Amino acid sequence: MSLSRRGLIGASAVGAGLLASAARATEGTTKLSKPCVISTWDFGVPANHAAWAVLSKGGRALDAVEAGARIPEQDLKNHSVGRAGYPDRDGHVSLDACIMDELGNCGSVAALEHIAHPISVARKVMEKTPHVMLVGAGALQFAIEQGFPREELLTEESRVAWEAWKKDAKYAPKANSEVGDYGQTSGRLGTPGGAGNHDTIGMLALDAAGNISGACTTSGMAWKMRGRVGDSPIIGAGLYVDNEVGGATSTGVGEEVIRNVGSFLVVELMRQGRSPQEACKEAVARILKKKPAAKDIQVGFLAINKQGEVGAWAIQKGFTYALCDGANQDGLLPGASFY
Ligand code: SD4
């Protein structure tokens, strides 16, 4: 069932356990049995459960990742995915998402406002249009035509945080702001949506038929410039799936991932024989080599191959990822890191 399953920890046992198992996570690759699903950050655990409801009944990986990604999108405690996401510097909640299936079909929306489930709009772009990506007003128009309700996504809590941010109006991404409300980690570095935060769910599923799909959804960097688009909706940057090889997704400061076409790079490195963990490590190394100053920000990659082997690597410690298969639906591991 697993090569290093002893490294797995339940979401409820994070705390000291998470830190203690950090060394073990660097030992090698974790192997899950199919069907299985993995996703970024502590809040990936409940998202994986929703994906598992699909996968465990023999469902398709594509349906699983859409169902999973919708969980943080609708979570009012999560201030960086979907509804209740922190706004841009002008107060607009603007969402990015993409989805990709085992056939290489993909769909994406960027800078989408007023729609609570961008991942489902991305899927409609994939299935109902001749295009891959719709942005801004055009994406909103399409979503409404498809029957998605137009809503106000800025919650009172997010509005208050934005008003507080405006006093200084500094844009300073903080590493690992995603760790928090779900992980009960002692000494945590921040809460999802903490000031200056960034935060994304990237999810990859391998279904019983052996097919891989992925999804990625975010409200992007809090307090970003209006119109800013990160890596998350960009096929090859925030997400990439090649059903011959595997899939990869990213989280963190998207500009660095876009510059290096990170998720595509991870999948190509796996094609050349690297393990998921080695491939993620090399992709992070590439970012640091080109821009040593990136050591002060966070980027993490998560990957799975056709055999169900899973790996992750980040610039800084604090990145976590959630794992789920028939043996354990509550897995949570710390990502290995350079710093
Ligand atoms: C972005 N990559 O918009 C996203 C943010 C993120 O963890 O992943 N935060 O750049």
Ligand 1 centroid to Cα of residue 136, in Å, is: 18
Q: What is the pLDDT of residue 222?
A: 87
pLDDT along the chain (339 residues), means of 10: 38 37 52 97 95 98 98 84 86 96 98 97 98 98 98 90 85 55 32 46 98 96 92 98 98 95 98 97 97 92 98 94 97 95
CB 156 within 8 A of CB 91: no
Ligand 1 centroid to Cα of residue 85, in Å, is: 12
Distance CA 21, CA 44 (A): 18
Q: Domains in the chain: how many in total?
A: 1
Ligand 1 centroid to Cα of residue 156, in Å, is: 23
Strand, helix or coil at 47? helix
Distance CA 46, CA 318 (A): 19
Please choose from 178, 253, 261 the residue to mutate so as to test ligand 1's pocket, defined by most ligand atoms within 8 A of CB: 253
Assigned domain for 204 exists: yes
Q: What is the pLDDT of residue 292?
A: 94
Assigned domain for 14 exists: no
Q: What is the pLDDT of residue 75?
A: 82
Residues recognised as catalytic: 200
- Residue 61: which domain range? 32-321+333-337
Assigned domain for 300 exists: yes
Please choose from 199, 226, 249 the residue to mutate so as to test ligand 1's pocket, defined by most ligand atoms within 8 A of CB: 199
Query: E strand or H helix at 61, and its extent?
Result: helix 61-73
Distance CA 197, CA 175 (A): 8
Distance CA 336, CA 187 (A): 18
Q: What is the pLDDT of residue 220?
A: 92
Which residue(s) pair with 204 in the sheet? 38, 214
Strand, helix or coil at 165? helix
Strand, helix or coil at 291? coil
Q: Output the domain CATH number for residue 112.
A: 3.60.20.30
Assigned domain for 150 exists: yes
Assigned domain for 2 exists: no
